[in-house]
Amino acid sequence: MGAKGFFISKSVGVVGIVLGAGAVATIIALSVVYSQEKTKTDGQVSPTDGAVTTTGPAVTTTTAPSNEPWDKYRLPKSLVPDNYRVTLWPRLTPDPITKLYIFTGNSTVIFKCVEETQLILIHSNKLNFTELENGQKASLTTVGNGAPAPAIKSSWLAVKTQYLVLQLAGVLVKDQQYMLSTTFTGELADDLGGFYRSEYVENNETKIVATTQMQPTDARKAFPCFDEPAMKAIFHITLIHDLGTIALSNGNETGTSNNVIDGKQVLVTVFEPTKKMSTYLLAFIVSDFDFIKTTLDGVLVRIFARKEAIAAKQGEYALNVTGPILKFFEKYYNSSYPLPKSDQIALPDFNAGAMENWGLITYRETALLYDSKYSSNSNKERIASIISHELAHMWFGNLVTLRWWNDLWLNEGFASYVEYLGADHAEPGWNVKDLIVLSDIHRVFAVDALASSHPLSSKEEDIQRPEQISELFDAISYSKGASVLRMLSDFLTEDLFKVGLSSYLKEFAYGNTVYTDLWDHLQRAVNNSGSPPLRNVHDIMNTWVLQMGFPLITINTTTGIVTQKHFLLDPDSIVTAVSPFNYEWIVPIKWMKTNIIQNPKWLQSKSENMTEMKLSEGGWVLANVNTVGYYRVNYDRGNWDRLLAVLSTNHQDLPRINRAQLIDDAFNLARAKEIPTILALETTKYLQKEREYIPWESALDNLDFFYLMFDRSEVLGPMQDYLRKQVTPLFGHFKTNTSDWTTIPAGHMDQYNQVNAISKACSTGLEECQTLVKDWFAAWMNDPGVNKIEPNLRSTVYCSAIAAGGAEEWNFAWGQFLNTTIATEAEKLRAALACTKEPWLLNRYLEYTLKSTFIRKQDATSTIVYIASNVVGQPLAWDFIRDRWSYIFTQYGGGSFSFSNLINGVTKRFSTKFELQQLEQFKKDNAEVGFGSGTLAVEQAIERTKANIKWISENKEPVLNWFVAESK
């Protein structure tokens, strides 16, 4: 999956005026970080739903835990599927009596018995089975020669573990194939999981799309199947659908015929059998969408979307970049695209960012559709990156699949790393590869520096229940995975990395692996290259994969002594998790000495004497060049002072990524009390001269924490004065550079930094900026048909204008939000509507978030978090969720709502004893209802609030004094 469902583009990260531009970006970025640890309520989890009637022995769920096979979450190893024939018929109009949207279907699966058994367990969730005359929910026959299949003695649904259970009168014979057939009905709910429905309005008509999201464990909601990634099989899919609609699935359609079924005129579309694949990669879609297409070396490439979107040419960009990216990956993997077609489809309702269904990738509209009149460069970049991410999975993940979900980090970390390579190939002028430092490394450093983090790798037996699997889709898996794989590719060299990768794909095509299989192939590539490195791949990578966290490397340039220790953001936190390596890592160190890149070093123990790093005659040392290493660096004070001096005189002597890194390291080292907070603030003084995006963004991200802690205190004034002073030259630079805001900067990163300049200048009260922005918005309000605001700047302009305005501005923007058919424009407006300073408007907006006709369910959490990011909205959002907790929990609990995002977002600013009390009370009051996926987030919020209270008490005075002195 493209996890960045709540990825916040530059253009959205601009909630200005009161709280400072980047604050929202950081909050949302951090809020994507789901809770990671397994919930501590093992065993005593209530059934996921009560919709399905349970008969037979399943009543045991309410008594003592039993050890029957159907009480276990993993399938027994007795049966292995070979192929399925599945027919599904989604109804796009509700049943007139029950008002339910449903689908009907039938399925046969041919499987082989590999261990004699009297029991068939096959996954099934929320399906109602049609019972046969003998009262059973399925029929069983023998395939080919062999004794007749034993009779089914009893059949029932194990609700908690999501099985259809069939107990047999006799045994299934080893090596014999059997065929199991079922007929069933399911609900086509709007729950964004399994086979579900998405609604949208076109030409004043509400339209329904039937679509799927199977990963990780919802294929079993569409038809009974052996729903584990290693249970690969071939799927023969048939979809029945209304006249005027089209049907899509993983394979190419072989034909569509007219038919009358149950007295109804329908179309029947049959698809080519799939390759051997995992159930979580299946997709079935019925819509009246339109498409555009091209062919690429015999591969059919199509982009599907709403008719209006295709007519407005919003699919063109996606179609244009897909070809180059596919070609890039064919070369990178040295393996041709494994399927005859590549469909990509934009859906109005979609929970994640995108999903890599094999041959039929599904996206949020904002992740696929581009419109040059509405989309910012950040929207465009997001599209290129997500397409790249998903196409990367077509081989890594789909052709070769990790055996079980505990290795998810390798699948997602890998795609999250190479997405930058594919996007860079499609848009070589952008330098997107640099952005991994901000979007992944910095993002995940923030969570991986907590005592509550967890290692990349989990034990297979620890990941069993669907909730445990879902929890793995977190920042550690995606961003830390990406960061350590980038480091690995760098120290091996990209060429060797590719050689190992391609032999891995070749050996395991259509099969399953564990993560060490990749290390084996990389090691083989290294050995064959004739120049093996110091240590083997397994030894090095084990230290990064099997223990949580990352090292702080400290270089003392007066002695040449280099040491490492586990970096913890809160120095008082207690690490209870035991590490097999005692929190030591094998660390590749790329470094430079006074402008010159040196030979890389390896730090292999706690402390080593590296005499080359000792400075005898002036100069400076800078380690972790271009932040290819997954660690932070500290220096002796003398070296820090010399680096600060370089920043203030010749900042370009330091690579631009390292300028960003010095700032990020300094601020985080200060949080961890390794260096004084004032030293961190000193790294921002040179920004007066900085014009590059990456260092600016790093600084603004880090200052967001200061806004969160101080925007309700007397520190705010002097802090705003200081930052206004720092950003004014940047504002002036872009004013000149764009001939008084009439053109857009040429460079991709410059366009980003222009947004920073305007949002920060406006939010710190630079009058020229505020006037400029107000005038642009007023011109649009005067002539709503003509929006001349440059797409890149819209988010910041909307936000600033709504913050400065009142009900009139808000209502205008709300009207535009309801009317626009452009997802990316709606997204910008939805974020900006949270910028108002009027409490009654914010309260009304909070009410709207729970009305799905106003705010789509997929957007409810992030909208509440936007509101909480606003210093005025924060207490309102907190009251709102406390007030509605049990309602929110029951209405939105079904997967589409991230409680951890919500809790993180709403409590980020907490830093007083009173807020701590409220939080503890909240925990107590709702103990009964529970916090679902937010359980750990509540604990973390309490811990974070305590740490914030302490931080403020220690830092407020020196920080205030520094801002007062430096703002003069």
Ligand X SMILES: *[C@@H]1O[C@H](CO)[C@@H](O)[C@H](O)[C@H]1NC(C)=O
Residues labelled as active-site residues: 390
Q: Which is nearer to ligand X, 181 or 912 (CB)?
A: 181
Q: How many residues bind ligand X (CB under 6 A)?
A: 14
Q: How far is C-alpha 19 from the geometric centre of its chain's CA atoms? A: 25
Which residues 812-831 are close enough to bind ligand X by CB under 6 A? none
Choose among ligand X, Zn ion, none what residue 102 binds, the Cβ cut-off being 5 to 8 Å by kind.
Answer: ligand X
**Structure-block tokens of residue 385:** 């990156």
Binding residue for ligand X, selected from 172, 187, 222, 903, defined by CB under 6 A: 187
Which residues 32-51 are close enough to bind ligand X by CB under 6 A? 51
Only segment of 250-258, 405-413, 518-526, 586-594 that touches Zn ion (CB under 5 A): 405-413
Only segment of 182-190, 678-686, 842-850, 856-864 that touches ligand X (CB under 6 A): 182-190
- Residue pair 963/722 in contact by the 8 Å Cβ criterion: yes
Choose among ligand X, Zn ion, none what residue 415 binds, the Cβ cut-off being 5 to 8 Å by kind.
Answer: Zn ion
Longest dimension (CA), the chain: 92
- Residue pair 301/323 in contact by the 8 Å Cβ criterion: yes
Task: Give the containing element (helix H, strand E) for 623.
Answer: strand 621-623
CB of 62 to ligand X, least distance (A): 19
Q: Which is nearer to Zn ion, 117 or 279 (CB)?
A: 279
- Residue pair 180/139 in contact by the 8 Å Cβ criterion: yes
Cα(287)–Cα(246) distance, rounded to whole angstroms? 6
Q: How far is C-alpha 117 from the geometric centre of its chain's CA atoms? A: 41
Only segment of 1-9, 432-440, 701-709, 883-891 that touches Zn ion (CB under 5 A): 1-9
- Residue pair 342/329 in contact by the 8 Å Cβ criterion: no
Place of tokens 């980038």: 486
Place of tokens 């006799």: 170
Choose among ligand X, Zn ion, none what residue 820 binds, the Cβ cut-off being 5 to 8 Å by kind.
Answer: none
Choose among ligand X, Zn ion, none what residue 142 binds, the Cβ cut-off being 5 to 8 Å by kind.
Answer: none
Torsion-angle region of residue 459: left (phi > 0), alpha (psi -120 to 50) or beta? beta
Under rule CB under 6 A, residue 853 binds ligand X: no
CB of 136 to ligand X, least distance (A): 15
CB of 215 to Zn ion, least distance (A): 9
Q: Which is nearer to ligand X, 128 or 933 (CB)?
A: 128
Looking at the DSSP assignment, which residues form a beta bridge with residue 139?
181
Site string for ligand X, 259-288 (x = CB under 6 A): --x---------------------------
Report DSSP state, residue 400: B
Choose among Zn ion, ligand X, none what residue 169 binds, the Cβ cut-off being 5 to 8 Å by kind.
Answer: none
CB of 132 to ligand X, least distance (A): 11
Only segment of 18-26, 149-157, 181-189, 638-646 that touches ligand X (CB under 6 A): 181-189
Residue 754 to residues 383, 696, 785, Cα–Cα distance (Å)? 21, 11, 26
Q: How far is C-alpha 609 from the geometric centre of its chain's CA atoms? A: 41
Place of tokens 């979307």: 305
Choose among ligand X, Zn ion, none what residue 888 binds, the Cβ cut-off being 5 to 8 Å by kind.
Answer: none
- Residue pair 116/122 in contact by the 8 Å Cβ criterion: no
Choose among Zn ion, ligand X, none what residue 53 binds, the Cβ cut-off being 5 to 8 Å by kind.
Answer: ligand X
In terms of DSSP bridges, do strands 194-202 and 591-593 run parallel, antiparallel, or are they unpaired? unpaired
Place of tokens 């279907």: 105
Binding residue for ligand X, selected from 61, 108, 252, 536, defined by CB under 6 A: 108
Choose among ligand X, Zn ion, none what residue 108 binds, the Cβ cut-off being 5 to 8 Å by kind.
Answer: ligand X
Cα(569)–Cα(705) distance, rounded to whole angstroms? 13
Under rule CB under 6 A, residue 186 binds ligand X: yes
Residue 953: what residue type? Answer: S
Which residues 123-162 are close enough to bind ligand X by CB under 6 A? 128
Of residues 166, 169, 193, the one with CA closest to residue 181: 166
CB of 243 to ligand X, least distance (A): 16
Phi, psi (degrees; rounded to nearest 5) at 455: -65, 160
Torsion angle defined by CA atoms of residues 553, 554, 555 and 556, in that order, rounded to the nearest 10 degrees: -170
Choose among ligand X, Zn ion, none what residue 204 binds, the Cβ cut-off being 5 to 8 Å by kind.
Answer: ligand X
Binding residue for ligand X, selected from 39, 54, 60, 106, defined by CB under 6 A: 106
Site string for ligand X, 86-105 (x = CB under 6 A): -x------------x-x---
Under rule CB under 6 A, residue 185 binds ligand X: yes
Choose among Zn ion, ligand X, none what residue 529 binds, the Cβ cut-off being 5 to 8 Å by kind.
Answer: none
CB of 189 to ligand X, least distance (A): 9
Under rule CB under 5 A, residue 415 binds Zn ion: yes
CB of 397 to Zn ion, least distance (A): 7
Task: Give the containing element (helix H, strand E) for 757.
Answer: helix 748-763
CB of 87 to ligand X, least distance (A): 4
Cα(106)–Cα(84) distance, rounded to whole angstroms? 10
| Helix/strand/coil for 407 | helix
CB of 543 to ligand X, least distance (A): 51
Q: How many residues bind Zn ion (CB under 5 A)?
A: 3
CB of 416 to Zn ion, least distance (A): 7
Under rule CB under 6 A, residue 257 binds ligand X: no
Choose among ligand X, Zn ion, none what residue 187 binds, the Cβ cut-off being 5 to 8 Å by kind.
Answer: ligand X
| Helix/strand/coil for 86 | strand
Under rule CB under 5 A, residue 662 binds Zn ion: no
Report DSSP state, residue 138: -
Residue 457: what residue type? Answer: S
Choose among ligand X, Zn ion, none what residue 185 binds, the Cβ cut-off being 5 to 8 Å by kind.
Answer: ligand X
Q: Which is nearer to ligand X, 186 or 932 (CB)?
A: 186
Q: Which is nearer to Zn ion, 355 or 541 (CB)?
A: 355
* R_g of the chain, CA atoms, integer Å: 28
Residue 331: what residue type? Answer: K
What is the per-residue burial (b if ≥16 Cβ within 10 Å, else e) of 176-195? bbbbbebbbebbbbbbbbbb
**For 867, how many CA atoms within 13 A lie in the half-sphere containing its CB?**
29
Under rule CB under 6 A, residue 53 binds ligand X: yes
CB atoms within 10 A of CB 947: 18
Cα(88)–Cα(238) distance, rounded to whole angstroms? 7
| Helix/strand/coil for 681 | helix
CB of 173 to ligand X, least distance (A): 24
Only segment of 380-388, 414-422, 577-585, 955-963 that touches Zn ion (CB under 5 A): 414-422
Q: Which is nearer to ligand X, 131 or 768 (CB)?
A: 131
Q: Which is nearer to ligand X, 204 or 736 (CB)?
A: 204
Place of tokens 């222009």: 754
* Cα–Cα–Cα angle for 801, 807, 811, rounded to 5 degrees: 85
CB atoms within 10 A of CB 634: 22
Only segment of 249-257, 409-417, 453-461, 642-650 that touches Zn ion (CB under 5 A): 409-417
Choose among ligand X, Zn ion, none what residue 334 binds, the Cβ cut-off being 5 to 8 Å by kind.
Answer: none
CB of 228 to ligand X, least distance (A): 24
CB of 397 to ligand X, least distance (A): 31
Which residues 202-221 are close enough to bind ligand X by CB under 6 A? 204
Q: Which is nearer to Zn ion, 505 or 906 (CB)?
A: 505
Q: Which long-range contacts (CB under 8 A, 24 or more apart) does 770-776 make?
A: 770/800, 770/804, 772/741, 773/797, 773/800, 773/801, 773/804, 774/800, 774/801, 774/804, 774/805, 776/801
Q: Which is nearer to ligand X, 185 or 886 (CB)?
A: 185
Instruction: Report the residue number whose CB is nearest to Zn ion.
Output: 415
Q: Could you list the residues that contact ligand X (CB under 6 A)?
A: 51, 53, 87, 100, 102, 106, 108, 128, 181, 185-187, 204, 261
Q: Could you list the residues that contact Zn ion (CB under 5 A)?
A: 1, 412, 415
